[in-house]
């Protein structure tokens, strides 16, 4: 992105890894940060510039999200990096949209609310309409999984099926053992099922990846389904998250999703999405295959996952501010520039 005429005025809701990355990017580009909110804890009351690792004050103090002042926010957009599920973010949406702010949400269900949680999607749509603001889910899927699929299908005059396979490193976008443990990495297979990871709603939302590409291409969706299974290796796996430097064989090292979307037109979209500890030689990538005339393949490699997800979200902000009111998925906006 080479710049925009009027710098967007933003609010950060959730001052964790991604909220801090967005704050640093905004500060670098000279975008005003109007306010920042976080759950109760040591960050509240500190200057956002210090919390975000800028090494200087921004003159913005992190407020407690429960008791903060949402009445006087003179801003264009709120960046919500709070949680993955819509249900966990509803308070944030209500507070920020109620203050007249557009929303850029990093939560994985927010890419396509209608398919992940139709009831809350209806509430979000109503909130957006009544406040005249836009709600968009965005982040690393934007370029690497959604628009790459749309582009791969672009030259086709006939399509029979689309398929995405991907391999991502759970360590790439995480900075603690707790973060990679969300999918029971380093736990036993029994724990994986006991904790219901195979029914995890955030994980199941990956079923919307082929669905969003098919929607963008104009197909009428019938159904999207997904299954989740643990990935286990019979060799040790290196990690920097435990002192001994490796995980023992036989433990859960990641998750494998299979998903399938059917359409009225008969075109099928499938996905095989692996998020697992890397073995030597593995490279993080997404690979789209479109069958039809012509057949196309596209492979995306993201060398800097964490910055890529922040960059995807950050570069979408002007599009979200310019979009019509309501829930507007990134596939309706054109590709990032």
- Pick 241 or 314: Cβ nearer its own copies: 314
- Pick 237 or 300: Cβ nearer its own copies: 300
Using the contact rule CB under 8 A, the part of the chain among 12-20, 61-69, 112-120, 298-306 near its own copies is 298-306
Residues 186/324, Cβ–Cβ less than 8 Å: no
Least distance from its own copies to the Cβ atom of residue 62, Å: 23
Residues 241/180, Cβ–Cβ less than 8 Å: yes
Q: Does 45 bind its own copies (CB under 8 A)?
A: no
| The two structure tokens encoding residue 58 | 């921004």
Least distance from its own copies to the Cβ atom of residue 105, Å: 17
Using CA atoms, how far apart are residues 84 and 88, in angstroms rounded to an integer? Answer: 7
CB atoms within 10 A of CB 281: 5
Q: Does 308 bind its own copies (CB under 8 A)?
A: yes
Q: Does 178 bind its own copies (CB under 8 A)?
A: no
Q: Does 179 bind its own copies (CB under 8 A)?
A: no
Those residues whose C-beta lies under 8 Å from the C-beta of residue 112, and which sit 6 or more positions away, are 137, 205, 208, 211, 212, 329
Q: Does 167 bind its own copies (CB under 8 A)?
A: no
- Pick 158 or 244: Cβ nearer its own copies: 158
Contact with its own copies (CB under 8 A): which of 44, 86, 104, 143? 143
Strand partners, 277: none
The structure tokens 């002042």 sit at 69
- Per DSSP bridges, beta strands 221-232 and 102-105 are unpaired
Q: The sheet that has 285-293: what strands, in order across it? A: 221-232, 252-263, 268-276, 158-168, 285-293
Contact with its own copies (CB under 8 A): which of 87, 315, 326, 332? 315
- Pick 98 or 335: Cβ nearer its own copies: 335
Q: Does 336 bind its own copies (CB under 8 A)?
A: yes
- Pick 31 or 93: Cβ nearer its own copies: 31
Using CA atoms, how far apart are residues 184 and 192, in angstroms rounded to an integer? Answer: 6
The SS3 call for residue 146 is helix
Q: Does 294 bind its own copies (CB under 8 A)?
A: yes
- Pick 73 or 143: Cβ nearer its own copies: 143
Residues 37/64, Cβ–Cβ less than 8 Å: yes
Residues 10-29 touching its own copies, rule: CB under 8 A, are 25, 28-29
Q: Does 337 bind its own copies (CB under 8 A)?
A: yes
Q: Does 317 bind its own copies (CB under 8 A)?
A: no
Using CA atoms, how far apart are residues 232 and 189, in angstroms rounded to an integer? Answer: 8
Using the contact rule CB under 8 A, the part of the chain among 77-85, 146-154, 198-206, 246-254 near its own copies is 146-154
Contact with its own copies (CB under 8 A): which of 54, 90, 151, 189? 151
Largest CA distance in the chain: 58
Task: List C-alpha distances in Å: 151 to 54, 165, 217.
Answer: 37, 16, 10
Q: Does 311 bind its own copies (CB under 8 A)?
A: yes
Write out the residues near its own copies by the rule CB under 8 A: 1-3, 25, 28-29, 140, 142-144, 147-148, 150-157, 216-219, 265, 293-305, 307-308, 310-312, 314-315, 334-337
């Amino acid at each position: 992105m080479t710049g925009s005429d009027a710098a967007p005025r933003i609010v950060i809701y959730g001052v964790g890894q991604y909220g801090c990355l967005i704050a640093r990017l905004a500060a670098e580009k000279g975008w005003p940060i109007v306010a920042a909110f976080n759950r109760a804890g040591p960050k509240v009351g500190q200057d956002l510039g210090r919390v975000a690792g800028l090494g200087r004050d921004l003159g913005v103090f992190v407020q407690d999200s429960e008791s903060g002042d949402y009445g006087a926010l003179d801003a264009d957009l709120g960046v919500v990096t709070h949680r993955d599920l819509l249900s966990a973010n509803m308070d944030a949406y209500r507070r920020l949209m109620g203050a007249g702010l557009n929303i850029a949400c990093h939560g994985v269900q927010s890419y396509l609310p209608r398919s992940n949680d139709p009831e809350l999607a209806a509430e979000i749509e109503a909130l957006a309409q009544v406040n005249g603001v836009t709600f968009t889910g965005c982040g690393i899927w934007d370029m690497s999984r959604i628009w790459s699929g749309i582009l791969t299908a672009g030259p086709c005059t006939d399509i029979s099926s689309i398929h995405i396979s991907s391999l991502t490193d759970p360590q790439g976008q995480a900075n603690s053992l707790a973060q990679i443990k969300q999918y029971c990495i380093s736990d036993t297979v029994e724990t994986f099922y006991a904790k219901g990871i195979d029914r995890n709603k955030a994980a199941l939302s990956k079923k919307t990846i082929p669905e969003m590409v098919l929607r963008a291409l104009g197909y009428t969706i019938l159904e999207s389904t997904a299954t989740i299974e643990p990935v286990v290796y019979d060799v040790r796996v290196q990690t920097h998250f435990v002192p001994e430097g490796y995980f023992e064989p036989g433990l859960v090292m990641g998750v494998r999703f299979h998903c399938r979307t059917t359409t009225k037109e008969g075109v099928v979209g499938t996905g095989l999405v692996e998020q697992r500890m890397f073995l030597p030689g593995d490279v993080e990538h997404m690979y789209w295959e479109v069958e039809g005339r012509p057949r196309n393949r596209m492979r995306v490699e993201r060398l800097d996952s964490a910055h890529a997800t922040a960059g995807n979200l950050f570069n979408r902000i002007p599009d979200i501010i310019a979009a019509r009111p309501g829930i507007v998925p990134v596939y309706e906006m054109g590709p990032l520039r």
